[in-house]
Amino acid sequence: MDTGIIYRNPKPHVSSIHAYFPSVVQMNDGEIIAAMTLGQAFESYDQHVYVSRSTDNGAAWRSLGPMYLPGPGGVPTTECCRIAKTPDGEIVVFMLKYNRSRVDVGYTNEDNMGFVETELNILRSRDKGISWSGPDAFTPPLVGPNFELCCPITMLKDGRWIIPTSTWRGWDGYCPNGMKAVALVSYDKGQTWPEYMDVMADVENKWIFWESKVIQLNDGRLLGVAWTYDEKNAKELANHYSISDKSGRVFSKARSTRLNGQTLTPVLLDNGKVLSLYRRVDKPGLWANISRIEDDDWINEYECPVWGYSSDYNVAQGTNLVHNFQVLRFGAPNIVKLNDGTIFVAIWAVEDNVSNIRWFKIAVD
């Protein structure tokens, strides 16, 4: 396994710049494009999205500058995004803009786990990330009132585009549909998003499904995964999964993967098995797992640590989940299968007191 850096503050002794939440695609010609959020701190008021490019399969990276910076005036915002590539080489971006007009607070209300106001947007690039159209705001087909950014746009075999996300409480705690994992649906390549699908929900037991991802299996069914939290009893549960019917529209009841972690990210391998990367909560570090799907059953076959499996990278397990968010030291694995079959993974990670974007290349037999 190889590893390297996509972005690290070149002069941390001069200014505070930390990098978070990477998202990566490989273009048809082999160039790799990465987007990330840069700012002074994990929830600072100056966080915006920047883009980098590699022309040598990820060995070296060059900054292309900001994807989007808000203009003067108006409501102050910070932004974060996930990027995807269409078959014809267009980069399509799902971006959340966060209202930061509340002074001296982070993203999350410590009293009720409500979230600052979010706006959903689409951006596009036809020149490999040099220039961008948008952001074009759109209205989701259900009331969140806020939404989580956790996954790029997923393009399905039947032509639909979906955005896996989760509803999130308003700052005042308002959440009419409960906190659940959903997928927004577009039939016109992201121009409109008129429908949604429930992917995982257990509102009665107050189970929260975060960091949801959806991939399509070889038989056409959709596999959804999510970090699962029992809010009623204030404890982490194993990551859960659900599987759609063959129409790709109705999902099964969520079941346990028996993987104890957060931010589980899957990718379908050529042999039909699933490689998942996740931040463990029962042991330190970023871990990889190989599993297979038989009918509706998730069967784990093999696991191994990838990075950070020293005690320095344990995950906080306090009763206040908002405080746990604030002391995270790595996460948000993003996975792309390169043109040569290699699995390329990007995470944010605090190393020597600076949060940078680190990549890994994993060869899977």
Instruction: Enter the tokens of residue 318.
Output: 């306090």
Domain at 76-329: CATH code: 2.120.10.10
Contact 289, 300 (CB under 8 A): yes
Taking only the tens place, the pLDDT of each residue in 72-95 is 888 999 999 999 999 999 999 999
pLDDT (average), residues 193-217: 95
Evaluate whether 219 touches 202 at the Cβ level (below 8 Å).
no
Helices (H) and strands (E) in the chain, counts: 1, 26
pLDDT of residue 326: 45
Closest CA to 59 of 335, 338, 279: 338
What are the backbone dihedrals phi and psi of residue 259, each rounded to the nearest 5 degrees, phi first? -105, 120
Q: In this model, does residue 321 exceed pLDDT 80?
A: no
Residue 302 and residue 289 in contact, taking contact as beta carbons nearer than 8 Å: yes
Whether the ω angle into residue 145 lies within 30 degrees of 0, i.e. cis, is yes
pLDDT of residue 268: 97
Give CA–CA dist 343/362, Å, rounded.
Answer: 5
Q: Give residue 309's pLDDT.
A: 80
Amino acid at 128: K
Task: Supply 194's token pair.
Answer: 């008129």
State the pLDDT at residue 313. 55
Asked if residue 315 has pLDDT above 70, the reply is no
pLDDT at 331: 82
Q: Report pLDDT for 323.
A: 47
Could you write out the DSSP letters of every residue in 183-204?
EEEESSTTS---EEEEEE-BTT
pLDDT above 80 for 177: yes
Residue 345: exposure state from Cβ atoms within 10 A (0-12, 13-18, ≥19) = buried
